[in-house]
Amino acid sequence: EAVFDPPAQTRRIAVANQKGGVGKTSTAVNVAAALALAGMRVLVVDMDPQGNASTALGAKHNSGDPSVYDVIEGRATIADVMQTCPEFETLQVVPASIDLSGADLELADMPDRNNLMRNALDAFLEQTSVHYDYVFVDCPPSLGLLVINAMCAVNEMLIPIQAEYYALEGLGQLINTIGLVQSNFNPELLVSTMLVTMFDRRTLLSREVYEEVKTHYPSIVLDTTIPRTVKISEAPSFGQSVISYDPRGKGAVSYREAAYELNSRSTVVLETLASRRNEN
């Protein structure tokens, strides 16, 4: 097994793409699980009312259960609502339920509405006795206030790109939104990582998508790609990551490699963030 050196500081990463079904949740959950397996301390914040990351990590998230909704509306702290994932003691999840579905509208009238998640996360990380190596925020497929909150609460964006026709369509819009958040709220925010998902090495299309992303974003896209495999889609129905559900399968192997690659870039990413902080 590969040895993972923990990052010198907590890396906070939002997994976002306004397209649905591109592998955001699978990536957040499985990269988080792979890092936890490697001994990292990881927190996953589910910000999608669908609660798919909560399901996959085995967290209770029925309507009315304490969740991220209570956190962003200031009724609870992250410590109050987070659950330890049954798979790994070092992996915690802030669950989301369908209760969150009205939040985009409800937040619109709140003071400091863009920073609700950031404030909650800052407070939690300051108070907890545990040092977290990673925080992942799984975003809904939109560019609404919940996603803006996620972008304000992190330093890094991880954008999954599905190896499909029109893979890069809509990416400009996402990059524009990130630019708006950078200039208005969070100047540090860095698109640190892109990951090509549902890759099929037998098809020319998959290879073309990878090459296109690599051409446009050479230093950002991971060398590792995630293959299309049914085990990745089955795992959540067992309340598990693919890392535990099918540890030797190619889905688990590729997500562990992606996690290793992401982690191995920690020093470079943290230095880039530090130099941005000094510029601002």
Place of tokens 């499985």: 30
Q: Which is nearer to Mg ion, 24 or 228 (CB)?
A: 24
Assess 228 for contact with ligand ADP (CB under 6 A): yes
Helices (H), 40-170: 52-56, 68-72, 78-81, 103-107, 116-127, 145-153
Nearer Cβ to ligand ADP, position 138 or 156? Answer: 138
Per-residue mark of binding to ligand ADP, 8-37 (x: CB under 6 A): ------------xxxxxxx-----------
**Quick one: 26 or 67, whose CB is closer to ligand ADP?**
26
- Give the separation between CA 141 and CA 126, rounded to whole angstroms: 30
Count the site residues for ligand ADP by CB under 6 A: 16
CB of 9 to ligand ADP, least distance (A): 27
Residue nearest to Mg ion (CB): 25
Find which of ligand ADP, Mg ion, none residue 254 binds, CB within 5 to 8 Å per kind: none
Nearest Cα neighbor of 209 from 159, 158, 162 is: 162
* Token couple for 80: 């109050």
Of the candidate residues 11, 24, 61, 118, the single one contacting Mg ion (CB under 5 A): 24
The residue whose two tokens read 């559900």 is 245
- Give every CB contact of residue 126 below 8 A, 6+ residues apart in sequence: none
Angstrom distances, CA of residue 102 to CA of 19, 105, 145, 159: 20, 6, 11, 25
Choices 32-40, 116-124, 148-156, 226-234; region in contact with ligand ADP by CB under 6 A: 226-234
Q: How far is the CB of 245 from ligand ADP (least distance, A)?
A: 12
Q: Which listed range, 57-65, 146-154, 228-236, 259-267, lies at the site for ligand ADP (CB under 6 A)? A: 228-236
- Nearest partner of 73 among 100, 50, 94, judged by Cα: 100
CA–CA gap between residue 65 and residue 221 (Å, rounded): 37
List the Cα angle 71/73/74 in 5-degree steps: 65
Instruction: Report the site for Mg ion in 27-86 (rule: CB under 5 A).
Output: 52
The item of ligand ADP, Mg ion, none sharing an interface with residue 221, based on CB under 5 to 8 Å by kind, is: none
> What does the binding site for ligand ADP look like in residue numbers (CB under 6 A)?
20-26, 52, 141, 197-198, 226, 228-229, 232-233
> What does the binding site for Mg ion look like in residue numbers (CB under 5 A)?
24-25, 52
